[in-house]
Amino acid sequence: MINNLEYNSERNKLIIPEYGRHIQKMVEITTEVEDDEKRNEMAHAIIKVMGNLSPHLRDVPEFQEQLWDQLFMMSDYKLEVDSPFPKPTAAEKAVKPDPLPYPENNPKYRFYGNNIKKMIDAVSKWEDGPKKEGLILTIANHMKKSYLNWNKDVVEDNVIFKHLYDLSDGRIDLNPKDEDLRKASNLVKGRKGGHHKRRRPKRHSRGRKRN
Protein backbone atom coordinates (compact mmCIF):
# COMPACT_ATOMS: atom_id res chain seq x y z
CA MET A 1 0.00 0.00 0.00
CA ILE A 2 2.82 2.36 0.89
CA ASN A 3 4.58 1.50 -2.37
CA ASN A 4 1.52 2.69 -4.32
CA LEU A 5 1.63 6.17 -2.84
CA GLU A 6 2.28 8.96 -5.35
CA TYR A 7 3.68 12.39 -4.77
CA ASN A 8 2.73 15.38 -6.91
CA SER A 9 6.39 15.92 -7.69
CA GLU A 10 6.44 12.48 -9.35
CA ARG A 11 3.26 13.00 -11.37
CA ASN A 12 2.76 14.67 -14.71
CA LYS A 13 2.30 18.42 -14.63
CA LEU A 14 -1.31 19.57 -14.54
CA ILE A 15 -1.99 21.33 -17.82
CA ILE A 16 -5.22 22.95 -16.58
CA PRO A 17 -5.06 22.90 -12.75
CA GLU A 18 -8.67 24.06 -12.41
CA TYR A 19 -9.91 20.60 -13.37
CA GLY A 20 -7.73 18.79 -10.86
CA ARG A 21 -5.70 15.59 -10.92
CA HIS A 22 -8.58 13.19 -11.51
CA ILE A 23 -9.74 14.80 -14.76
CA GLN A 24 -6.14 14.90 -15.94
CA LYS A 25 -5.76 11.16 -15.26
CA MET A 26 -9.02 10.40 -17.04
CA VAL A 27 -7.77 12.22 -20.13
CA GLU A 28 -4.42 10.41 -20.03
CA ILE A 29 -6.12 7.01 -19.74
CA THR A 30 -8.55 7.86 -22.57
CA THR A 31 -5.69 8.90 -24.83
CA GLU A 32 -4.11 5.44 -24.45
CA VAL A 33 -7.31 3.50 -25.25
CA GLU A 34 -6.89 1.71 -28.61
CA ASP A 35 -10.56 1.04 -29.37
CA ASP A 36 -11.97 4.04 -31.30
CA GLU A 37 -15.57 3.59 -30.15
CA LYS A 38 -14.63 3.21 -26.51
CA ARG A 39 -12.23 6.16 -26.71
CA ASN A 40 -14.96 8.41 -28.14
CA GLU A 41 -17.39 7.27 -25.47
CA MET A 42 -14.91 8.06 -22.72
CA ALA A 43 -14.12 11.47 -24.22
CA HIS A 44 -17.80 12.45 -24.22
CA ALA A 45 -18.10 11.26 -20.62
CA ILE A 46 -15.17 13.47 -19.62
CA ILE A 47 -16.76 16.45 -21.38
CA LYS A 48 -19.92 15.91 -19.31
CA VAL A 49 -17.91 15.84 -16.10
CA MET A 50 -16.05 19.01 -17.09
CA GLY A 51 -19.35 20.70 -17.95
CA ASN A 52 -20.84 19.78 -14.59
CA LEU A 53 -18.25 22.00 -12.94
CA SER A 54 -20.00 24.97 -14.62
CA PRO A 55 -23.63 23.85 -14.96
CA HIS A 56 -24.88 27.32 -15.93
CA LEU A 57 -22.64 27.27 -19.02
CA ARG A 58 -22.49 23.63 -20.08
CA ASP A 59 -25.31 23.93 -22.67
CA VAL A 60 -23.93 27.06 -24.34
CA PRO A 61 -22.42 26.17 -27.77
CA GLU A 62 -19.40 28.44 -27.29
CA PHE A 63 -18.70 26.87 -23.91
CA GLN A 64 -18.95 23.37 -25.37
CA GLU A 65 -16.29 24.25 -27.92
CA GLN A 66 -14.11 25.59 -25.12
CA LEU A 67 -14.48 22.31 -23.21
CA TRP A 68 -13.36 20.27 -26.23
CA ASP A 69 -10.40 22.59 -26.75
CA GLN A 70 -9.39 22.10 -23.14
CA LEU A 71 -9.80 18.33 -23.45
CA PHE A 72 -7.31 18.25 -26.33
CA MET A 73 -4.98 20.57 -24.44
CA MET A 74 -4.93 18.23 -21.43
CA SER A 75 -4.04 15.33 -23.73
CA ASP A 76 -1.15 17.37 -25.12
CA TYR A 77 -3.08 17.26 -28.45
CA LYS A 78 -2.54 13.50 -28.68
CA LEU A 79 -6.19 12.49 -28.21
CA GLU A 80 -7.81 11.12 -31.38
CA VAL A 81 -11.60 11.35 -31.11
CA ASP A 82 -14.53 12.55 -33.20
CA SER A 83 -15.05 16.06 -31.92
CA PRO A 84 -18.11 18.17 -32.89
CA PHE A 85 -15.74 21.09 -33.29
CA PRO A 86 -12.49 21.56 -35.23
CA LYS A 87 -9.59 20.01 -33.37
CA PRO A 88 -7.10 22.65 -32.23
CA THR A 89 -3.38 22.29 -32.65
CA ALA A 90 -0.51 23.20 -30.39
CA ALA A 91 0.71 25.74 -32.95
CA GLU A 92 -2.62 27.58 -32.90
CA LYS A 93 -2.68 27.81 -29.13
CA ALA A 94 0.92 29.01 -29.04
CA VAL A 95 0.05 32.14 -31.01
CA LYS A 96 -0.01 35.14 -28.69
CA PRO A 97 -2.87 37.65 -28.97
CA ASP A 98 -2.24 41.10 -30.33
CA PRO A 99 -1.23 43.60 -27.64
CA LEU A 100 -3.91 45.99 -26.42
CA PRO A 101 -3.50 49.59 -27.56
CA TYR A 102 -2.77 51.30 -24.27
CA PRO A 103 -2.44 55.10 -24.34
CA GLU A 104 1.19 56.10 -24.47
CA ASN A 105 0.77 59.84 -24.07
CA ASN A 106 2.35 61.42 -21.02
CA PRO A 107 0.27 64.45 -19.97
CA LYS A 108 2.01 67.44 -18.47
CA TYR A 109 -0.12 67.29 -15.33
CA ARG A 110 -0.61 63.59 -14.68
CA PHE A 111 -2.75 64.02 -11.60
CA TYR A 112 -5.61 65.23 -13.83
CA GLY A 113 -5.65 62.06 -15.92
CA ASN A 114 -6.10 61.46 -19.64
CA ASN A 115 -9.89 61.85 -19.62
CA ILE A 116 -9.68 65.49 -18.55
CA LYS A 117 -7.30 66.19 -21.45
CA LYS A 118 -9.74 64.54 -23.87
CA MET A 119 -12.61 66.62 -22.48
CA ILE A 120 -10.59 69.81 -22.80
CA ASP A 121 -9.68 69.02 -26.40
CA ALA A 122 -13.32 68.28 -27.20
CA VAL A 123 -14.82 71.40 -25.59
CA SER A 124 -12.18 73.59 -27.23
CA LYS A 125 -13.75 72.77 -30.60
CA TRP A 126 -17.26 73.79 -29.56
CA GLU A 127 -18.85 77.05 -30.62
CA ASP A 128 -18.89 79.78 -27.98
CA GLY A 129 -22.03 79.89 -25.88
CA PRO A 130 -23.52 79.17 -22.44
CA LYS A 131 -23.22 75.40 -22.90
CA LYS A 132 -19.50 75.62 -23.64
CA GLU A 133 -18.88 78.01 -20.74
CA GLY A 134 -20.77 75.75 -18.34
CA LEU A 135 -18.79 72.67 -19.35
CA ILE A 136 -15.49 74.56 -19.06
CA LEU A 137 -16.36 75.58 -15.49
CA THR A 138 -17.34 71.99 -14.70
CA ILE A 139 -14.00 70.76 -16.04
CA ALA A 140 -12.14 73.43 -14.05
CA ASN A 141 -13.91 72.44 -10.83
CA HIS A 142 -13.10 68.79 -11.44
CA MET A 143 -9.46 69.74 -12.06
CA LYS A 144 -9.43 71.56 -8.74
CA LYS A 145 -10.86 68.50 -7.01
CA SER A 146 -8.24 66.23 -8.65
CA TYR A 147 -5.49 68.65 -7.64
CA LEU A 148 -6.66 68.66 -4.02
CA ASN A 149 -6.79 64.86 -3.94
CA TRP A 150 -3.20 64.78 -5.15
CA ASN A 151 -1.94 67.76 -3.15
CA LYS A 152 -3.71 68.33 0.17
CA ASP A 153 -2.60 71.98 0.32
CA VAL A 154 -4.97 74.78 -0.58
CA VAL A 155 -4.88 75.67 -4.27
CA GLU A 156 -5.74 79.06 -5.74
CA ASP A 157 -8.12 79.28 -8.67
CA ASN A 158 -5.55 81.04 -10.84
CA VAL A 159 -3.34 77.91 -10.61
CA ILE A 160 -6.16 75.80 -12.03
CA PHE A 161 -6.78 78.43 -14.71
CA LYS A 162 -3.12 78.29 -15.72
CA HIS A 163 -3.16 74.50 -15.93
CA LEU A 164 -6.35 74.64 -17.99
CA TYR A 165 -4.72 77.19 -20.27
CA ASP A 166 -1.67 74.94 -20.73
CA LEU A 167 -3.68 71.76 -21.32
CA SER A 168 -5.86 73.50 -23.90
CA ASP A 169 -2.80 74.90 -25.72
CA GLY A 170 -3.98 78.43 -24.99
CA ARG A 171 -7.50 77.93 -26.33
CA ILE A 172 -9.23 78.27 -22.94
CA ASP A 173 -8.35 81.19 -20.67
CA LEU A 174 -10.51 81.83 -17.60
CA ASN A 175 -8.25 84.44 -16.01
CA PRO A 176 -9.69 87.52 -17.71
CA LYS A 177 -13.27 86.31 -17.08
CA ASP A 178 -12.87 86.63 -13.30
CA GLU A 179 -14.56 83.30 -12.63
CA ASP A 180 -14.66 81.72 -9.17
CA LEU A 181 -14.46 77.98 -8.67
CA ARG A 182 -16.10 76.04 -5.88
CA LYS A 183 -14.52 76.07 -2.44
CA ALA A 184 -12.13 73.29 -1.54
CA SER A 185 -14.31 72.21 1.38
CA ASN A 186 -17.16 71.53 -1.06
CA LEU A 187 -14.98 69.58 -3.45
CA VAL A 188 -13.03 67.26 -1.16
CA LYS A 189 -14.70 65.15 1.49
CA GLY A 190 -13.29 65.10 4.98
CA ARG A 191 -12.31 68.79 5.05
CA LYS A 192 -13.50 71.03 7.84
CA GLY A 193 -16.65 72.78 6.83
CA GLY A 194 -17.40 70.30 4.08
CA HIS A 195 -19.81 68.20 6.10
CA HIS A 196 -21.87 68.67 9.18
CA LYS A 197 -21.32 66.32 12.03
CA ARG A 198 -24.05 63.81 12.45
CA ARG A 199 -25.88 64.07 15.70
CA ARG A 200 -26.30 60.89 17.63
CA PRO A 201 -29.93 59.96 18.11
CA LYS A 202 -31.19 60.56 21.58
CA ARG A 203 -31.83 57.47 23.61
CA HIS A 204 -35.36 57.21 24.83
CA SER A 205 -35.74 56.64 28.52
CA ARG A 206 -39.27 55.33 28.15
CA GLY A 207 -39.82 52.18 30.09
CA ARG A 208 -36.72 52.59 32.28
CA LYS A 209 -37.04 52.67 36.02
CA ARG A 210 -35.35 55.48 37.83
CA ASN A 211 -33.70 54.73 41.12
pLDDT in tens, 42-66: 999 999 999 988 888 867 878 989 9
Q: What is the mean pLDDT of residues 85-93?
A: 87
Q: Compute CA distances 157 → 110, 134, 164, 180, whole Å.
A: 18, 16, 11, 7
pTM across the whole model = 0.47
Among 72-76, 173-177, 192-196, name the one with the lowest average pLDDT: 192-196
Confidence of residue 3 (pLDDT cuts 50, 70, 90): low
Looking at every residue in the chain, the average pLDDT score rounds to 81
Confidence of residue 198 (pLDDT cuts 50, 70, 90): very low
Residue 197: its pLDDT value, please? 46
The domain ranges of the chain are 9-92, 110-187
Among 74-88, 160-174, 181-195, name the one with the lowest average pLDDT: 181-195
Q: Dihedral, CA atoms, 133, 136, 138, 143, nearest 10 degrees?
A: -160
Residue 106: its pLDDT value, please? 58
Among 79-93, 96-110, 128-142, 194-208, name the one with the lowest average pLDDT: 194-208
194 pLDDT more than 50: no
> What percent of the chain is modeled with pLDDT above 90?
31
Percentages of the chain per state (helix, strand, coil), in multiples of 5: 55, 0, 45
Q: Which residues contact 141 (CB under 8 A, 6 or more apart)?
A: 181, 182, 187
Q: Which residues contact 178 (CB under 8 A, 6 or more apart)?
A: none
Task: Return d(Cα 60, Cα 56) in angstroms, integer.
Answer: 8
Confidence of residue 95 (pLDDT cuts 50, 70, 90): confident
207 pLDDT more than 60: no
Q: Compute CA distances 176 → 75, 143, 161, 180, whole Å.
A: 73, 19, 10, 11
